[in-house]
Amino acid sequence: MIRLEEKELEKYILEEDCHIAMPFELHRKGGENEIITYSFTEKTAEEFEKRYCENPFSDEAKKFLLDELTPIMEKIGYDCTGALDRVHYEFRCAEADTSKILPDCEIIGTLDGEKWDDIPLDEFALDLDDENDRMAVIRRDGKIVCFAGLNDISEDDGCPEITVECEEGYRMNGFAASCVAMITDYLVSLGMDVKYICTEDNTASVRTAEAAGFKLYEKCLPFVCYRKENEENDEDF
């Protein structure tokens, strides 16, 4: 199935102050494909679907997209270097694997009084009054060294995304899987659906998701290109 991107967004990517464009985005779920594209790249998407519907992530399929979309996007000022470098995995979980939860992993509702060093907890502000706004943590020497919680900047589609970070010196100890399993178990107990997103080549993150009880739900292939500096559009659509 092919779906055209919203007209307003398509119009915006033709403007000079837009720095990123995605003329093609493939979502494969349950053996079915959905392609999101612009009106001026729809023919490429249609031809792609005819040729590669059964194997859309193959090298041949990617080469076709690069050959067809690169000249189109370059004409309107975008650089397509590395446009297909990453396949994204979306995992879903109906029941967390609680056997992966370590004894000293716990749920917290505030960061007041907590300490940490090399993990990005400064970006979070937990709300004690919101039972959904919780975090699973593991501490060492009085400091949080691993956490998992909700990604506040993820797309709001009714299925919030789990994010996890572990301090480098504490990795490969099951801390990430423990925190992901605990926060997932907690959120699922509240009736929430949750997802976990990572790239195909991030094998450590894939292992964490699978260890915590997540199953692969969808694969996504985005064609991502960035505005060239000091370039003017030379094509109208």
Residue 125 CA from chain centroid, whole number: 21
Q: Work out whether strand 20-29 and strand 215-227 pair parallel, antiparallel, or are unpaired.
A: antiparallel
Task: For each of the domains in the chain, give its residue range(s) and CATH number, in order of start.
Answer: 2-89+219-227 (no CATH), 96-212 (3.40.630.30)
List the structure tokens of 196: 């976990």
152: pLDDT confidence band, cut at 50, 70 and 90? confident
Cα separations (Å) of 18 from 40, 84, 156, 233? 17, 20, 22, 12
Pairing type for strands 32-37 and 194-199 reads unpaired
- pLDDT value of residue 156: 58
* Cα–Cα distance, 44 to 38 (Å, whole number): 10
Left (φ > 0), alpha (ψ -120 to 50) or beta: where does 78 sit?
Answer: beta
Give the tens place of pLDDT for each residue, 49-102.
999 999 999 999 999 999 999 999 999 999 999 999 999 999 999 899 999 999
Q: What is the mean pLDDT of residues 34-62?
A: 95
| pLDDT value at 178 more than 60 | yes
**How does residue 123 score in pLDDT terms, banded at 50, 70 and 90?**
confident
Which of the four pLDDT bands, split at 50, 70 and 90, describes residue 223? very high
What is the mean predicted confidence (pLDDT) over 225-234?
70
Average of pLDDT values for 31-57?
Answer: 94
Distance set, CA 190 to CA 171, 183, 234 (Å): 29, 11, 53
| DSSP letters spanning 122-143 | GG----TT-TT--EEEEEETTE
* Spatial separation of the C-alpha atoms in residues 139 and 142, rounded to whole Å: 6
The answer to whether 151 and 160 have CB atoms below 8 angstroms apart is: yes
Q: Is the pTM of the predicted complex or chain greater than 0.85?
A: no
What pLDDT is stored for residue 160 in this prediction? 87
Please state, in angstroms and rounded to a whole number, the distance separating the CA atoms of residues 13 and 212: 38
Place of tokens 């396949």: 87
Q: Which residue has the tokens 């109906």?
A: 94
Query: Given this model, what pLDDT does residue 124 score?
Result: 82
Which pLDDT value is given to residue 39?
A: 95
Cα four-point dihedral sign 207, 208, 213, 219: negative
Closest CA to 211 of 35, 91, 59, 130: 91
CA–CA gap between residue 197 and residue 217 (Å, rounded): 10
Residue 9: the pLDDT is 87
